[in-house]
Amino acid sequence: MEHTPEPWNVIEFYMSGERIGVEPKEGDMIGFFHDKSERTKANARRIVACVNACKNIPTDVLESDPNIAEVIIEAVAVEEHRDEIMRQNFELISALERVEKWLETHNIGCLPDSEKELIQRAKGGAA
């Protein structure tokens, strides 16, 4: 059987006393705690955050690899690094295009074909 689909949320409610609950976006409440202490709220938030962060990761994978969190953290770091490299690449391409336009505007010449090809390839076009 599959678990309740994400996203899950923390709720506060009253049922024979104040309670903290965990419920999905759609469907019945998953569970609740009998008190509203700060630790209980923090635990409920942690449960919900973990479940939502693990969306699309099969439960058996989570159970079988105790280091999965490290793998996920590393993957996020790699994505952030990739995004930074892509941003820098875009800035360099833009700078080269401005240099090319400046050279042509001032009748100094133009970029060599090899550099124009590099710009096209970097922009995802064929060289």
Predicted confidence pLDDT, tens digits, the chain (127 residues): 889 999 999 999 888 878 899 999 988 899 999 888 999 999 999 999 999 988 988 888 888 888 888 888 898 899 999 999 999 999 998 998 898 888 888 888 788 888 888 888 888 865 5
Say what the pLDDT of residue 38 is: 94
Q: Is residue 26 part of a domain?
A: yes
Q: Which domain holds residue 76?
A: 68-122
pTM, two decimal places: 0.56
Say what the pLDDT of residue 120 is: 85
Tell me, yes or no, whether 103 and 72 share the same domain. Answer: yes
Q: Is residue 12 part of a domain?
A: yes
Count of domains forming the chain: 2
Say what the pLDDT of residue 88 is: 93
Integer CA distances (angstroms), 67 to 12, 22, 46, 54, 95, in order: 33, 26, 18, 13, 42
Candidates 8, 55, 11, 57; CA nearest to 36 is 11
Q: 123: Cβ–Cβ under 8 A, 6 or more apart, which residues?
A: 93
Q: Is residue 63 part of a domain?
A: no
Q: Is residue 127 part of a domain?
A: no
Tell me, yes or no, whether 85 and 113 share the same domain. Answer: yes
Tell me, yes or no, whether 103 and 78 share the same domain. Answer: yes
Q: Is residue 1 part of a domain?
A: no
Say what the pLDDT of residue 16 is: 82
Say what the pLDDT of residue 126 is: 56
Tell me, yes or no, whether 72 and 118 share the same domain. Answer: yes
Tell me, yes or no, whether 80 and 40 share the same domain. Answer: no
DSSP character string of the chain: -PPPPSPEEEEEEESSSEEEEEEESSSS--EEES---HHHHHHHHHHHHHHHHTTTS-HHHHHH-TTHHHHHHHHHHHHHHHHHHHHHHHHHHHHHHHHHHHHHHTTS----HHHHHHHHHHTT---
Q: Is residue 95 part of a domain?
A: yes
Tell me, yes or no, whether 115 and 73 share the same domain. Answer: yes
Say what the pLDDT of residue 57 is: 87
